[in-house]
Amino acid sequence: MPAKIVLKYYKMIQVNLPVFEGPLDLLLHLIKQNKIDIYDIPIALITKQYLEYLELMKELDLEIASEFLVMAATLIYIKSKMLLPVQEPEEEDPRKELVEKLIEYQNFKEASKILKERYEVWSLAFSRSTSKQEEFLLEELNIFDLLQALKKILDKPQPRIYVPKETIKVEEKIEQILNLLRFKKSIDFYELFKYNSSKLEIIVTFLALLELIKLRIAIAYQEKPFGKILINLEERNENRNYL
C-alpha cells in the first residue's frame, strides 16, 4: 500500500514511498525483536511498542494506513480484556484470534520467501558469479527494521546547534549517500548520521535512504539477525546518476 511522505520542514518537497509491510508485519517484527513466544504474547508490552512505532511514522510524515489504526484499536481492546478478571475457567484467551492471524500470515510469508530464494538461486546459477551468491546469505531488511534503527538515533540527546532556515534538500542527501556508497562497497547504517546532526537532518537523511531503497538503487541488509545494518549499492547502479 503506498504511503506518502510530506516533508513540511522544507517547502513541502514530497517523496512517494510504497510501504508494502502492514500491521501484521509490524507485530511479527516486534515479536522477533523481543524474542517472544507467538503463542504467549505479552499484550501490554507489544501494544506500547506498536503505538511508539505509529508515533514515529507520524513524526516522519508517513501517511498511516487505516489498517494500522484498526490494529492499534484491536490491541488496546485485547489489553483491556486481559485486565479484567476471568469470569469462567474455560473462557477463551482474547489473544487467540490475533495469534491465529499472525501464524497464518507468518506461514504465508515464509512460503513466499522460500519461492523467492529458489528463484534467485537459479537465476544466479546461470547469470552471475559465485561471489554474488554469498550475498543472499544476508537478510534483507524491511521498513520496520530501519525505523527501529532510526529510533535509537532519535532517542539519543540531540546537540543544541543552530539550524539555518535555508532548505535541506532530500536530493542533496541522496547524492551524498550515493557518493559514499560508490567510494565504499558497503557502509554501516549509522555511518550515514553524523554525531552532531540536528533532528531535521537525521530525518532528511533517513528519507533519502528510503527513497534509494524504494528505487532498488541501494539495499539494506543484516549479516545475521539483530546484527549491524549494512547498506549496499546495487552493482548495476554503481555508475548511475540519480539526479
**pLDDT at position 91 over 90:** no
Greatest mean pLDDT among 75-89, 95-109, 116-130 lies in 95-109
* pLDDT confidence of residue 199: 83
More confident of the two residues 63 and 220: 220
**pLDDT at position 49 over 80:** yes
* pLDDT confidence of residue 235: 65
* pLDDT confidence of residue 38: 93
Q: Which of 110, 184, 198, 210 is nearest to 156 (CA)?
A: 198
pLDDT band at 71 (very low <50, low <70, confident <90, very high): very high
**pLDDT at position 21 over 80:** no
Integer-rounded Cα radius of gyration of the chain: 20
pLDDT band at 39 (very low <50, low <70, confident <90, very high): very high
Instruction: Report CA dihedral (119, 188, 155, 46) to the nearest 10 degrees.
Output: 20
Mean pLDDT within 184-197: 85
Q: What's the chain's average pLDDT?
A: 77
Please give, one letter per residue, the 3-state secondary structure of 55-117: HHHHHCCECCCHHHHHHHHHHHHHHHHHHCCCCCCCCCCCCHHHHHHHHHHHHHHHHHHHHHH
Enclosing H/E stretch for 219 = strand 218-222
Number of H helices, E strands in the chain: 8, 6
C-beta of residue 229 within 8 angstroms of C-beta of residue 191: no
* pLDDT confidence of residue 195: 74
Q: Is the dihedral of CA 19, 99, 222, 34 positive or negative?
A: positive
The helix/strand/coil state of 52 is helix
> Beta strands 218-222 and 139-140: pairing type?
antiparallel
Query: Would you give the DSSP letter of residue 18?
Result: E
* pLDDT confidence of residue 77: 95
**pLDDT at position 94 over 50:** yes
pLDDT band at 130 (very low <50, low <70, confident <90, very high): very low
* pLDDT confidence of residue 164: 53
Sheet-wide strand order for 229-233: 139-140, 218-222, 229-233, 186-188
pLDDT band at 15 (very low <50, low <70, confident <90, very high): very low
> Beta strands 13-18 and 186-188: pairing type?
unpaired
pLDDT band at 18 (very low <50, low <70, confident <90, very high): very low
C-beta of residue 5 within 8 angstroms of C-beta of residue 15: yes
Mean pLDDT within 9-34: 68
